[in-house]
Amino acid sequence: MRAERSRTADLLAWLGVAGMLAVALVRSTSMQAAWRWFDVDPIRSPGALEAVGASGGILLDAALLLSASLLLASRALRGRRLDGLSLLLVVLPVPILAWHARGDLEQAWRGASLAAGWIGLVAAAHLRDDRRLRVLLAAGLLAAAVPWLARAGEQWLVEIPASIAHFEANRAEVLASFGWSEGSEAALLYERRLAQAEAGAWFGLANVFSALLAACAVAWMQLTLATRGRSLGGGTVLLAGVVALAAVVGVAINGSKGAIAALLAGLAVAAIGSRSGRTTGDAPPRGWRSAAGRIALLGIPLGIAAVLLRGLLPEGFLGEKSMVFRWHYLLGSAWTLRAEPLRGVGPAGFQEWYLLVKPIRSPEAVQSAHSLVADSLLAVGVVGLAWFAALARVLWRRDEPGGSTGSVAPSRGGILLLVVALAAATAVLWAIEPSSRGGSGMARWIGILLFLPTAIVARSILAAVDPPRLAWILGSVAFVLLLQGQIEMTFFAPGSIAWAMLAVGLAGSPPAPRRGDPTRRSRVAVVIAGVPAAIALLVLAGPFRAAVQAESRLALAAEPLDEVGRAIEERRAPALDPLDARRRAAAGLSALADEGGPAAARAGSLALEQQLAVAAETGTREDLAAARTRAEANLAFGHSARRLAERARVLLVWRAIEPGGVDPRMLAEAIAQALVLQPQDVGLWIDLGDARRDAGDLVDARAAWRTALELDAALELDPLVRLPEARRRELEVRLAE
């Protein structure tokens, strides 16, 4: 009976780790987008975006939660103690995430990845006393750097040069499309950014990719050094060195200053561990067994301190701007939390608030505060502190002597686990991005092909090092992630959060065993182990069903537009008239919006876009009236900055198509209402001035234009977002009249 129970526990743990690794691989090697349709105009780009959508993302998060439950259940069957307090702490904010997800699929999509990530972190921390599985999960996570680098290489060598060549061949047209003149500050800055050759792999953001790559570089450099004096094959040493070098070079090529600083700091932590962990044997001093996790925690205050320090320095200090922007995000976060301290604004609600409270010098409208601490508190309010209490608990806790148990010798079971995780991830990726099966996706499949031998090499090295060295390798990875996570979206972007949370969790420790009735303890542990599965089945089932239904309706609405787009691509006569296709799409989207539900607000905005396109083409009062009706209906979803700006935009289009068809005072009032929630929108201030001029209020019109110029001048930190020079001169002439 005991042997059978042990085999069952082994199988559950094996499946749990394989599932967690597969989810991290899929997330980090595919694009993520809540809305796969209408991300761009379907006529210009037919078909859904090949990415993990809202339903797929929620399903992956459910898979991560179920895998975490399997891992925890295996521990319960072995009679080992579970960290019920840490699990309770990370589950505590889940009801608030569920509250924000009501009727908002974007909130549900991001909230699911946030909840699953934190719970996955606590589950991964329980692997500290099962070295065999801990090594396997760590090896798989570190080997993910290979497909990332393969994709980045394709971007560096093929896609970025092609973009530069296109710009060089069409320089005048490209600059004119932005309203920039040749040699202007904005044009020169655009050219410099284009030539920076920054790759983002599948993360879409170079800084996020660089952050994860820096963490991998720190680990792989330690793995390479750990091969010295060990009876490992020459191929093992060579492959480890190549991956380490490629990761360091990748960080350097992207040039992210934050990632480079985090890499250097991580290497310093690794050096401390290397010198202090030279004790051999399996029973090193207790202090060093837990010091790695504690040092990893320092990454959080160090990262926040760096942002605070930059905020105190002069704005033009050394010409550095990126940390100035982080300081702006932190200020915006503080003002937002002051307004919503108890429930936050949800994981997808910061952008609307930032438009309202951001510093006047900030040129951006970001979705994330670029900080694990700020983003977590913004999502759920002060209850988010429970997440950090759990993080401190698992990283600060000491191990008991002899706690790192389990066979570390190479076994077929370990390789099979990696193969199963890779096969599951590959099957999902194959289904998500069919176009990548051909030559255009060769980089991905080369990276996937090299993943397995790379993971086996990492596993063989990690299994051979002594416990303190293993602790320091994983602790230094967590340190880099937590440090960089205070200035980047590493723990916000759906593609990176699962990988980063699991990597941090591996540096944690399980609770110490406690004496007592093992039977009673096992029953309690089984109940605790079922909590993540319960969340997956009870909390995520509704959003998943709503996402599937919404995506199906969006696909039907996009169908006529896709047909026109494909006809244009194939250089044949369109099967449908574009205007008729847009009317049909708008009708389908309006029906979805009027039904309500989690996709209503998004569908309403998309319907308005289609109706405005028709109105701009036909210029008829009937089409303009339909767009206006849709904009007014959208206000039922909430008087947000976006909704109010939509109504003002319809009236502006009406005025452009039919001069005198809109009462300028009514237009000015609509624009003024939109400015209440986005008071720093330069374009709206110009439109307000134009409307007031048409209404005969020249004094107020000049005041609005003057405000627009003052706000535009304050955006000098990023010339690309400023008004074109000709537009500024035009406003200056108006004020001089």
Report yes or no on 95 lying in a domain.
yes
Q: Give the count of domains, the chain.
A: 3
Report yes or no on 469 lying in a domain.
yes
Same domain? 180 vs 267 = yes
Same domain? 527 vs 588 = no
Same domain? 572 vs 526 = no
Same domain? 427 vs 574 = no
- The predicted model scores a pTM of 0.93
Tell me the average pLDDT of the chain.
87
Please state the rounded mean pLDDT for residues 670-684: 94
Same domain? 651 vs 689 = no
Structure tokens at 707: 């405000």
Report yes or no on 128 lying in a domain.
yes
| Per-residue model confidence as pLDDT tens digits over 706-729 | 999 999 999 988 888 888 888 899
Output the pLDDT for position 277.
47
Output the pLDDT for position 17.
95
| Per-residue model confidence as pLDDT tens digits over 174-232 | 777 666 777 666 676 677 777 777 888 999 889 999 999 999 999 999 999 888 766 66
| Per-residue model confidence as pLDDT tens digits over 529-554 | 888 888 998 899 999 999 999 999 99
Please state the rounded mean pLDDT for residues 104-112: 93
Please state the rounded mean pLDDT for residues 20-48: 89
Report yes or no on 45 lying in a domain.
no
| Per-residue model confidence as pLDDT tens digits over 518-527 | 555 566 777 7
Same domain? 345 vs 492 = yes
SS3 493: coil
Same domain? 699 vs 652 = no
> Per mean pLDDT, which of 274-288, 374-388, 463-477 is the most reliable?
374-388
Q: Which letter does DSSP use for residue 318 in this model?
A: G
Output the pLDDT for position 40.
81
Same domain? 127 vs 237 = yes
Report yes or no on 72 lying in a domain.
yes
Output the pLDDT for position 528.
82
Q: Which letter does DSSP use for residue 539 in this model?
A: I
Output the pLDDT for position 329.
96
Owner of token pair 């708008």: 586
**CA neighbours closer than 13 Å in the CB half-sphere of residue 15:** 15
Final residue in a domain of this structure, among 495, 512, 539 = 539
Final residue in a domain of this structure, among 637, 662, 687 = 662
Output the pLDDT for position 247.
96
Amino acid at 631: A
Domain extent at residue 567: 544-662
618, burial (CB in 10 Å: exposed 0-12, middle 13-18, buried 19+): middle
The number of helices, as runs of H, and strands, as runs of E, in the chain is 34, 0
Output the pLDDT for position 433.
67
Lowest mean pLDDT among 106-115, 554-563, 685-694, 715-724: 715-724
Tell me how far apart the alpha carbons of residues 310 and 473 are, in angstroms, rounded to a whole number: 30
| Per-residue model confidence as pLDDT tens digits over 147-173 | 999 999 999 888 888 888 888 887 877
Output the pLDDT for position 530.
85
Tell me how far apart the alpha carbons of residues 126 and 477 are, in angstroms, rounded to a whole number: 17
Report yes or no on 401 lying in a domain.
no
Looking at the DSSP assignment, which residues form a beta bridge with residue 405? Answer: 130
Same domain? 564 vs 422 = no
In the chain, what is the greatest distance between 2 CA atoms, to the nearest angstrom? Answer: 94
Check whether 2 has a pLDDT greater than 80.
Answer: no
Output the pLDDT for position 263.
95
Percent of the chain scoring above 70 in pLDDT: 90
Same domain? 157 vs 289 = yes
Output the pLDDT for position 161.
87
Output the pLDDT for position 378.
97
**Higher pLDDT, residue 409 or 656:** 656
Same domain? 583 vs 727 = no
Output the pLDDT for position 469.
87
| Per-residue model confidence as pLDDT tens digits over 277-317 | 443 433 444 455 457 888 999 999 999 999 999 999 988 88
Check whether 509 has a pLDDT greater than 90.
Answer: no
Looking at the DSSP assignment, which residues form a beta bridge with residue 52? Answer: 32
Report yes or no on 59 lying in a domain.
yes
Check whether 617 has a pLDDT greater than 60.
Answer: yes
Structure tokens at 110: 């991001």
**Higher pLDDT, residue 413 or 595:** 595
Which pairs from 676-679 meet CB under 8 Å and 24+ separation? 676/644, 677/352, 677/355, 677/356, 677/639, 677/640, 677/641, 677/644, 678/355, 678/356, 678/641, 678/645, 679/356
CATH number, domain of 675, equals 1.25.40.10
Tell me how far apart the alpha carbons of residues 163 and 170 are, in angstroms, rounded to a whole number: 11
Same domain? 430 vs 320 = yes
Check whether 427 has a pLDDT greater than 60.
Answer: yes
Check whether 699 has a pLDDT greater than 60.
Answer: yes
Return the closest-CA partner of residue 584 out of 539, 604, 614, 605: 614
Tell me how far apart the alpha carbons of residues 248 and 227 are, in angstroms, rounded to a whole number: 19
Owner of token pair 């100035």: 324
Owner of token pair 């099966």: 437
Owner of token pair 């597969």: 22
Report yes or no on 175 lying in a domain.
yes
SS3 488: coil
SS3 35: coil
Instruction: Please state, as a whole number, how many other Cβ atoms lie within 10 Å of the Cβ of residue 651.
Output: 25
Owner of token pair 């409208």: 365
Final residue in a domain of this structure, among 489, 513, 539 = 539
Structure tokens at 337: 């939390």
Output the pLDDT for position 527.
78
22, burial (CB in 10 Å: exposed 0-12, middle 13-18, buried 19+): buried
| Per-residue model confidence as pLDDT tens digits over 596-609 | 888 899 999 999 99
**Higher pLDDT, residue 77 or 700:** 700
Please state the rounded mean pLDDT for residues 4-9: 76
**CA neighbours closer than 13 Å in the CB half-sphere of residue 280:** 2
